[in-house]
Amino acid sequence: MEKEAVTDERESSPPTPSHSVPHDDSDDIMPRIKIRTIILIIAVCLTYFAGVANVVGAGAYARDLAAVVGGSDQSTWLANSIAILTVILSPPISEAADFWGRKWFLVGLTSMGCIGCIIVGTATSMGTAIVGQIIAGISYGAQPLVHAVPSEVLPRRVRPIAQAAVNLSAALAIIFGLLVGSALTRHNTSGFRTYWYITAGLFAAAALAVAILYNPPLRELQKVLSQREKLASLDWIGIALLSCGLVLFCMSLTWSQNPYPWSNAHVLATFVLGIILTLMLIVYEVRFKHDGIFHHDLFQRSRNFGIALGCIFVEGLVFFTCNNYFPFEVSTLYETDVLIVGLRYSLFAITFGISTCVTGYYCSRTKSVRLPAVFAFILFLAFCIAMATATIGSNRSVVGYPVIFGAGLGICLNILMTAAQFGTPPELIATASGLMIGVRSLGGSVGLAIYNAIFTHTLSANLASKVPGAVLPLGLPPSSLGSFISAMTLGQTDALNKIPGVSASIIQAGGNAVKEAYCVAFRNVWITAGCFTFIALIAALFLQDPTADFNVQIDAPLEPVESSSISKI
């Protein structure tokens, strides 16, 4: 009976929570936003800043960490552990936040980020560093709340601006991570320790700020349900199937071709079991659980939420392509100075920050999401095409390509989250945000596995054909070919000079051949990303503009609201 009462409470709850501001038909009068609310949004955005800075470090400085503590073959788990934990924690944490409130999930999970970063900074082995990132990865379960809270405490009319603030913090964190981290590790690989200590301090400051500043009134479900009823109403079966299925699925994709082939039991067994558990989750959520982590009301208000989920899956897939392969391509084909590589990549973060702010203002004024979403994926497609046509001689052109990607990213993240939140009932905004963040990370995990398989296969095939054709006619003994290719791809100059039969002309010809092989491998990655982007572009055409939802209602105000005709938009 208790369980039925809880279910009825959630399913019969009105579209507008009891503490929301009633809709005002005069729609041009904005409630006055107090300084306390603005400071809270800044504090919440700081948690996002810290999380993104840690992600940048896990990807950009994994080689520096491995150079000091060893275990380079395991370094991919520094970033992969974060992606996996984001996927499995975002939906259940978002559901739980509806029963216990947002505050202590934000504070507690963000504090775990501080602990994890300290462990990474003090690590003496790759295993310890990975454990640190797993602990820090727990903090990413709060990311959906970072997107939900600013949207809830501000009028719906400015919800795109609220999302712009969140995305701007991410852009600043990327710039911070690339430039500060590059400066710290440029001449000293142990500088990664200082970087993670700084990141730990950011997590600590964010947790403390939210603990002090965020004191919202209790939500209806917090007041009317007992602790037992809250625990009973959580979707435990769905959480278990989601966690186990996606962990196994993501692990299999991470292991595929790195280091195991698909036929290996490590990959095949985890992949099959992960798929089975995921299918069981789908059947359970569709047939037996209508108010769980995949609450059916999320998909019944409009088609926007389903479309936004599919599009953000592709956005995550494309973002991880750029995040992992653009710096890799630049450092392999064009630049050797890590700071210059960071500077070139940071151009995307600058345009990302600018475009998300412009998009927030434009969307709030025009009440449109469809046109900006389509334009964002057109920019993504243009970026993928440009990168796919890059050659060894495209150094100058490639400098400007991140600007295209950054502009698209700033539009896409803002618009898709806004469309998803407007496309669901207000009381499910955290759940909707959790699924969006989880699906985005899942897209990144799936994408990286696909790209890794394509890149590895293409590179191996082209190295085997291009390098021998370039160096054997110049006199390199066939017996030295294997060690020559290995030393050349790893950049081991000293080892190259010790290989029998090697000369300066052979090294130069071999270097050009290796670059050509890499260029083809990178090209196939960008072509694959472009194909996924085109599918999302078509899907974005079917988004609906939620014009009526751009009103002055506040779903979860922090304080009594005062209206003023001075605050018009």
Q: Three-state secondary structure along 10-36?
A: HHCCCCCCCCCCCCCCCCCCCEECCHH
- Angstrom CA distances, 32 to 152, 214, 391, 552, 567, stand at 15, 18, 54, 10, 6
**By the 8 A CB rule, do 385 and 408 touch?**
no
Of 23-32, 167-176, 320-329, 330-339, which range is least confident? 23-32
Enter the tokens of residue 154: 């501000």
Same domain, 249 and 103: no
| Residue 1 covered by a domain | no
| Residue 20 covered by a domain | no
Same domain, 189 and 43: yes
Q: Which pLDDT score, from 0 to 100, does residue 416 have?
A: 94
Token pair 């997590």 is at which residue? 203
pLDDT above 70 as % of the chain = 92
Same domain, 149 and 266: no
Q: Taking residues 303-311, what's their average pLDDT?
A: 92
- Higher pLDDT: 524 or 255? It is 524
Please spell the DSSP secondary structure of 390-459, one letter per residue.
Answer: --TT-HHHHHHHHHHHHHHHHHHHHHHHHHHHHTS-GGGHHHHHHHHHHHHHHHHHHHHHHHHHHHHHHH
Q: Give the integer Cα–Cα distance in Å for 365 and 344.
A: 33
Predicted confidence band at 4 (pLDDT cuts at 50, 70, 90)? Answer: very low
Predicted confidence band at 454 (pLDDT cuts at 50, 70, 90)? Answer: confident
Q: Which pLDDT score, from 0 to 100, does residue 248 have?
A: 86
Q: Which pLDDT score, from 0 to 100, does residue 442 have?
A: 84
Q: Give the integer Cα–Cα distance in Å for 418 and 469.
A: 54
Q: Taking residues 443-451, what's their average pLDDT?
A: 82
Range with top average pLDDT, 64-68, 178-182, 372-376: 372-376
Q: Which pLDDT score, from 0 to 100, does residue 28 have?
A: 60
Range of the domain at 259: 236-290
Q: Give the integer Cα–Cα distance in Å for 434 and 418.
A: 13
Same domain, 246 and 339: no
CATH at residue 338: 1.20.1250.20
pTM: 0.83
Range with top average pLDDT, 203-212, 226-235, 262-271: 203-212
Same domain, 64 and 156: yes
How many domains are there within the chain? 2
Residue 170 has pLDDT above 90, yes or no: yes
Residue 558 has pLDDT above 80, yes or no: no
**By the 8 A CB rule, do 150 and 317 touch?**
no
Same domain, 203 and 316: yes
- Higher pLDDT: 166 or 23? It is 166
Same domain, 151 and 267: no
Residue 490 has pLDDT above 80, yes or no: no
Same domain, 262 and 378: no
Contacts of residue 30, Cβ cutoff 8 Å, sequence gap at least 6:
155, 157, 158, 552, 563, 564, 567, 568, 569
Enter the tokens of residue 479: 């017996």
| Residue 147 covered by a domain | yes
Residue where a domain terminates, one of 274, 290, 306: 290
| Mean pLDDT for the chain overall | 84
Same domain, 111 and 130: yes
Range with top average pLDDT, 73-87, 297-311, 451-465, 472-486: 297-311
| Residue 259 covered by a domain | yes
Q: Taking residues 27-53, what's their average pLDDT?
A: 84
Same domain, 386 and 411: yes
Predicted confidence band at 5 (pLDDT cuts at 50, 70, 90)? Answer: very low
Q: Taking residues 366-371, what's their average pLDDT?
A: 92
- Degrees, nearest 5: CA angle 115-120-126: 140
Residue 9 has pLDDT above 70, yes or no: no
**By the 8 A CB rule, do 21 and 557 touch?**
yes
Q: Which pLDDT score, from 0 to 100, does residue 52 have?
A: 92
Residue 397 has pLDDT above 80, yes or no: yes
| Residue 196 covered by a domain | yes
Predicted confidence band at 116 (pLDDT cuts at 50, 70, 90)? Answer: very high
Predicted confidence band at 187 (pLDDT cuts at 50, 70, 90)? Answer: confident
Q: Which pLDDT score, from 0 to 100, does residue 274 have?
A: 87
Same domain, 86 and 145: yes
Contacts of residue 202, Cβ cutoff 8 Å, sequence gap at least 6:
46, 49, 50, 53
Predicted confidence band at 519 (pLDDT cuts at 50, 70, 90)? Answer: very high
| Residue 496 covered by a domain | no
Q: Give the integer Cα–Cα distance in Å for 429 and 554.
A: 13
| Residue 364 covered by a domain | yes
SS3 562: strand
Same domain, 280 and 329: no
| Residue 316 covered by a domain | yes
- Higher pLDDT: 566 or 407? It is 407
Residue 413 has pLDDT above 80, yes or no: yes
Predicted confidence band at 257 (pLDDT cuts at 50, 70, 90)? Answer: low
